[in-house]
Amino acid sequence: MWQSSGKYVPTVAQLKEVAPAIIGMGCFDRVETNGGAFEQVNLLFGENPNKAVREWTAPFREAGIQTHMLERGLNALRMNPVPADVRELMYKVKKAQGTDISRSFCGLNDHRNLRLSVEYAKKAGMISQVALSITNSPVHTVDYYMGVVDKVVEYGCDEICLKDMAGIGRPAFLAELTARIKKKYPSMVVQYHGHCGPGFSPASMLEVARAGADYLDVAVEPLSWGKVHPDVITVREMLKADGFGVKDIDMQAYMEVRSLTQKYIDDFLGYWIDPTNSHMSSLLVGCGLPGGMMGSMMADLKGFHGAINASLRAQGKPELTVDQLMLMLFQEVEYVWPRLGYPPLVTPFSQYVKNTALMNLMNILKGQPRWTTIDKDTWNMILGRMGQLPGPLDPEIIALAKQKGYEFYTGNPQDEFPDELEKYRQMMAEEGWDCGQDDEELFEMAMHERQYRDYKTGVAKERFNKELAVARAKIGEQYPDAEPVQAPVKGQVLWNLDLDDASSAPVIGTAVAADEPLGYIQTYYGLIEIMPMSDGHIIATCAKQGDKVQKGDTIAFVRKK
């Protein structure tokens, strides 16, 4: 549920803390633990992803719960193509680290990009699950998807996932697809993964279950619903009422997972979770953008808002609000998407389509033509270097490519990216860095060279700490009616008096009174009370249990009554 919520994921210490409660819920056969953005994000805040994966998967495996990762086929764990030898090493490493299932998807549903994923996963001893990137378009028919299924079954995959990343798959369509897979391949395991987004997902879950799906992906509050997955409680009750045998949920454990998740949000993750992330919107039905894109799209719009209005003023035209721009961008995505060949709007192709639509909108509002600005990665998609597009390109795009002297590529995309592992092995030797257990450090270097170098040199940790400090400082700007709670002295923050208790700060919404201490600062000469200036409630916290602070540091914000 973290991947579609914000920029970061919990630290390895937090993941280890919440794992027993997830296990204690008693209703999960599988937990998605790593892959995709997860490992790159670890590097971004200065943490070793190999340590994180090993320690995070261990308690689930010990409890008999399968762990699974997400990987992007030709792009593996990054946003651009990966050489075959690096892809092969990934499966060896992840299997050794404790990951059972590899969920592999190609954003274009090009089976050629998935063949090596299946073969390498099986060779490493992992379960190979191929994900179909589900979308709703004239070319994405049940027959189209069954064509992909036939090929990946031929390659030897063990399972099929319906990856409904934007939640726009229609329930009846998904049920028909599930039934067709089960009829043709009766022993094939089918798993459904659908984000709430425009609101179809719960209905889709019921329909695919009735059609024979084996697993459903769910989440837990406070991050379920919105742009993430339906909550496990609702899905369980829905299935139970329909006659399915479902496991009980230990509600005490559920509430602990819920509480810990909120604690991590309060700690630091919440600074990068857009408030609209918790909202569902039927506007997403038309444009088909996945929930994870909404945060970046809104950030883009806010960043361009001033420049767009400055241009409109210069042209003597009325200014636009962010909401007006958002609607215009949705409409531009609807215009752009079919003309670019209907690539399913999933990473990285959702970014390419969104970026093209955004630049089109910018140019249109400035009085310039569409397609004036198309980035290199989008051109690579258009030209076939990342795989075959599901639908035909618009003649206007083909003409533009020819005008620029570009050539279309029809070969196997992997052939364009020669092996590089030995080059990275030499780089590791030159730096004096060990390749690690099972070559896992070599793998990280080869997969995410720039981020890995920043992690190894300490640059990533330093940058993240500065970013966090800025994010905390901005809370005051976001809440002009809020009062900061400042550390009265230098010392160590104790939100409760048990130093060994890692409990977080008071949760958002906690009522406070001006004459009652929020917590204490531990100094060498004793405890000093932390007192709010007014009655009200907590709207943000900037320090966690045990943090060392200076006198005057802002450690929380209170909105007055």
Q: Indicate whether 119 pLDDT > 80.
A: yes
Tell me whether strands 482-486 and 215-216 are parallel, antiparallel or unpaired: unpaired
pLDDT at 116: 98
**Measured CA distances, 84 to 38, 148, 435 (Å):** 21, 21, 19
pLDDT at 478: 64
pLDDT at 413: 95
> Which amino acid belongs to residue 76?
A
Average pLDDT over residues 94-120: 97
DSSP string, 341-383: T---S-TTHHHHHHHHHHHHHHHHHTT--TTS---HHHHHHHT
Task: Give per-residue pLDDT as tens, 284-322.
Answer: 777 676 655 655 666 667 767 777 888 888 888 888 887
Q: Indicate whether 212 pLDDT > 90.
A: yes
CA-based torsion, 438, 441, 444, 445: positive or negative: negative
Q: Name which of 171-185, 234-248, 492-506, 537-551 the model is least confident about.
A: 492-506
Q: Indicate whether 356 pLDDT > 60.
A: yes
Q: Indicate whether 502 pLDDT > 60.
A: no
CA 374 to chain centre: 25
CA-based torsion, 536, 539, 542, 547: positive or negative: positive
Q: Are 512 and 484 in contact (CB under 8 A)?
A: no
Tell me the C-alpha distance between 506 and 511, whole Å: 9
CA dihedral 131, 75, 402, 362 (to 10 degrees): 90
- The helix or strand, by DSSP H or E, that contains position 67, with its residue range, turns out to be strand 66-71
Percent of the chain with pLDDT over 90: 60
Tell me the C-alpha distance between 235 and 242, whole Å: 11
pLDDT range class, residue 257, cuts 50, 70, 90: very high
The residue that leads in pLDDT, 495 or 298, is 495
Q: Are 274 and 238 in contact (CB under 8 A)?
A: no
Q: Indicate whether 360 pLDDT > 70.
A: yes
Q: Are 98 and 58 in contact (CB under 8 A)?
A: yes
3-state DSSP assignment of residue 281:
coil
pLDDT range class, residue 523, cuts 50, 70, 90: confident
Task: Give per-residue pLDDT as tens, 63-97.
Answer: 999 999 999 999 999 888 999 999 999 999 999 99
CB-based burial, 508-540: b 16+ in 10 Å, e otherwise = beeebeeeeebbbbbeeeeebebbbeeebebbb
pLDDT range class, residue 375, cuts 50, 70, 90: confident
pLDDT at 314: 86
pLDDT at 467: 85
pLDDT at 69: 97
Q: Indicate whether 281 pLDDT > 60.
A: yes
Cα of first residue to Cα of last residue in the chain, in angstroms, is 34
Average pLDDT over residues 248-259: 96
pLDDT range class, residue 550, cuts 50, 70, 90: confident
Q: Indicate whether 51 pLDDT > 90.
A: yes
Percent of the chain with pLDDT over 70: 94
- Among left, alpha and beta (phi > 0; psi -120 to 50; other), residue 371 is left
Q: Which residues contact 204 (CB under 8 A, 6 or more apart)?
A: 164, 167, 169, 170, 171, 174, 175, 192, 194
Go through the domains of the chain in sequence order and give each one's CATH number: 286-414 (no CATH), 482-560 (2.40.50.100)
Token output for 152: 């990946």
Q: Indicate whether 505 pLDDT > 80.
A: no
The residue that leads in pLDDT, 263 or 155, is 155
Q: Which residues contact 449 (CB under 8 A, 6 or more apart)?
A: 424, 427
Sequence length of the chain is 561
pLDDT at 509: 75
Q: Are 8 and 272 in contact (CB under 8 A)?
A: yes
pLDDT at 382: 96
Within 319-348, where are the H helices? Answer: 322-339
Q: Are 262 and 507 in contact (CB under 8 A)?
A: yes
Tell me the C-alpha distance between 374 and 360, whole Å: 9
pTM of this structure? 0.82
Tell me the C-alpha distance between 315 and 367, whole Å: 9
Q: Which residues contact 94 (CB under 8 A, 6 or more apart)?
A: 34, 35, 53, 69, 102, 124, 126
pLDDT at 138: 93
Q: Are 557 and 539 in contact (CB under 8 A)?
A: yes
Token output for 485: 């709670």
Quickly count helices (H) and strands (E) in the chain. 20, 15
Phi and psi dihedrals of 150, rounded to 5?
Answer: -60, -40
Q: Indicate whether 527 pLDDT > 70.
A: yes
Phi and psi dihedrals of 482, rounded to 5?
Answer: -95, 155
